[in-house]
Amino acid sequence: MRTLTLDRNPLARRARAFYVMTKPRVNSLIVFCAIIGMFLAVPEGLPDPALVFFATVGIAAVAGAAAAMNCLIEQHLDAKMARTRGRPLPLGELTARETLVFAALLGGAGLLVLGLAVNALTMLLTLATFVGYAVIYTLFLKPRTPQNIVIGGASGAMPPVLGWAAVTGGVSADALLLFLIIFAWTPPHFWALALYRTQDYARAGLPMLPVTHGSEFTRLSVLLYTCILFGVTLLPFATKMSGPFYLAAAVGLGLGFLHYAWQLYVDYSDGLARRTFRYSIIYLSALFAALLVDHYLPF
């Protein structure tokens, strides 16, 4: 009944369309990793609640604006793909002008909050992340190279660094370790998706790795990058950033990811690729949650 009411309410329908443009599920993972970075940046105790609030609002707003710009730039591609043809622009629920204005207002407001209530470094780093994703990745890398995910992963790996900078006003080696974890996680995460969406990407003319190099090469790449990821996730323990609780979680979660990657390589199916993609999201969330829990344990 509630859904029917929303469908008949033009204002609610448009509000939902703008909300969808921010890619809320992706945005929630971005914000989660940024918040973890804020808490890990404080050696003892908790970060200032007001700072956490304003940093979260600002980062979330700019991330939403970047997502909207991505949808705007790729609207003609989204219309060709089963996974994305239900987005507001291909459906005609929003116009390109409305999306551009929305992204500008949302992103501008987010940067303003970061500049006035957090610090200049966080604002500049967040702006650079926006440009990296919405412009460099979306416009130049994604349509031109099968290594788009690897290179463009730098933008997606920035959230914990932004959170760290928000609290400390700087970027430390520990913050870069968090960056490195997400950077190494990005290729196997997205290539698992690309494997069972290969026809979609081919139809859209995007040079994703399964389209240009085939399934077997992509599956091998997923396995190799998952091995790299496993090693990288041990670095916080090796550098004494974290303790035995995190180490146990990293090893357990990493072995699970390696199991999926190996099965994907030796016995591929679209269903397994879907499960691998879903596990990768759970994996990253659980790994960062383990970092946070370990940070506050007394041993």
Are 282 and 148 contained in the same domain?
no
**Class of residue 212 by CB neighbours under 10 A (exposed 0-12, middle 13-18, buried 19+):** middle
Domain span at residue 267 reads 172-299
Each residue's pLDDT tens digit, 27-85 = 999 999 999 999 999 999 999 999 999 999 999 999 999 999 999 999 999 999 988 99
What confidence tier does 7 reach under pLDDT thresholds 50, 70, 90?
A: low
Given a cut of 60, whether residue 4 has pLDDT beyond it is: no
Q: What CATH number is associated with residue 86?
A: 1.10.357.140
pLDDT of 299: 81
Give the contacts of 279 (CB within 8 A, at least 6 positions apart): 256, 257, 260
**Domain final residue pick, 117, 151, 171:** 171
Q: Which residue has the tokens 């204002």?
A: 11
Q: Average pLDDT in the 105-110 region? A: 98
Are 106 and 210 contained in the same domain?
no
Are 177 and 161 contained in the same domain?
no
Are 136 and 201 contained in the same domain?
no
**Domain final residue pick, 154, 171, 188:** 171
What is the distance of C-alpha 106 from the center of its chain?
18
Are 235 and 266 contained in the same domain?
yes
What confidence tier does 11 reach under pLDDT thresholds 50, 70, 90?
A: confident
Each residue's pLDDT tens digit, 183-239 = 999 999 999 999 999 999 999 999 999 999 999 999 999 999 999 999 999 999 999
Count of domains forming the chain: 2
Are 36 and 96 contained in the same domain?
yes
**Domain final residue pick, 107, 137, 171:** 171
Q: What CATH number is associated with residue 251?
A: 1.20.120
Token reading at 187: 């290729």
Are 166 and 236 contained in the same domain?
no
